[in-house]
């Protein structure tokens, strides 16, 4: 579905080059086109294939409108909250994001669409005397609300599992 959507939407790939971020994490995939051109065996993570995990921002208005048909912004966010015009998709097998902080202007929400994922959180040094590291596990339908500017965070996907999440900011 995503491949067809990007290939049939004028300017979709260019929007990634003009300010939308593509994250390859620790894979050898450096563009969304490369993701969509992977051999079917790797896409499905068949035995002997290298696992992959990527993320990117959706900045193209037509792409956003189409993708938003498949999910809703969490209902419990404040009605007067501001939302960016970009939402991110993260998906792949067996990997995840290494421990990091995000440098974003707002709080973050992330909805687990498919598969499962473990989050590991560690507080910033300023909070270590009160805050403690912890982990939690998400499944499809779970939504995470987190200030990723104050919590170091990493994610991992169980071996053999495919994970897909939608992420955005609010504030």
What CATH number was assigned to the domain covering residues 2-170?
A: 2.60.120.650
Residue 84: predicted pLDDT: 64
pLDDT tens per residue, range 98-157: 999 988 777 888 889 999 999 999 999 998 899 999 999 999 999 988 888 889 999 999
Give residue limits of the domains in the chain: 2-170
Q: What is the largest CA-CA distance in the chain?
A: 52
Residue 45: predicted pLDDT: 93
pLDDT average, residue stretch 34-49: 93
Residue 158 has pLDDT above 90, yes or no: yes
Q: Considering the chain, what is the average pLDDT of its residues?
A: 86
Residue 82: predicted pLDDT: 64
């Amino acid at each position: 579905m995503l491949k067809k959507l990007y290939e049939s939407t004028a300017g979709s790939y260019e929007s990634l080059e003009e300010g939308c971020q593509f994250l390859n994490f620790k894979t050898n995939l450096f563009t969304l086109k490369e993701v969509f051109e992977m051999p079917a065996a790797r896409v499905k993570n068949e035995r002997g294939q290298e696992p992959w995990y990527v993320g990117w921002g959706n900045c193209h208005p037509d792409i956003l409108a189409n993708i938003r048909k498949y999910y809703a912004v969490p209902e419990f966010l404040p009605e007067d909250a501001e939302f960016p015009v970009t939402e991110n998709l993260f998906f792949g097998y067996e990997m995840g994001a290494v421990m990091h902080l995000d440098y974003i202007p707002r709080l973050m929400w992330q909805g687990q669409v498919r598969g499962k994922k473990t989050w590991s959180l560690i507080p910033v040094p300023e909070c270590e005397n009160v805050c403690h590291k912890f982990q939690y596990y998400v499944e499809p339908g779970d939504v995470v609300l987190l200030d990723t500017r104050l919590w170091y965070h990493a994610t991992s996907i169980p071996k053999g599992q495919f994970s897909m999440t939608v992420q955005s900011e609010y504030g």
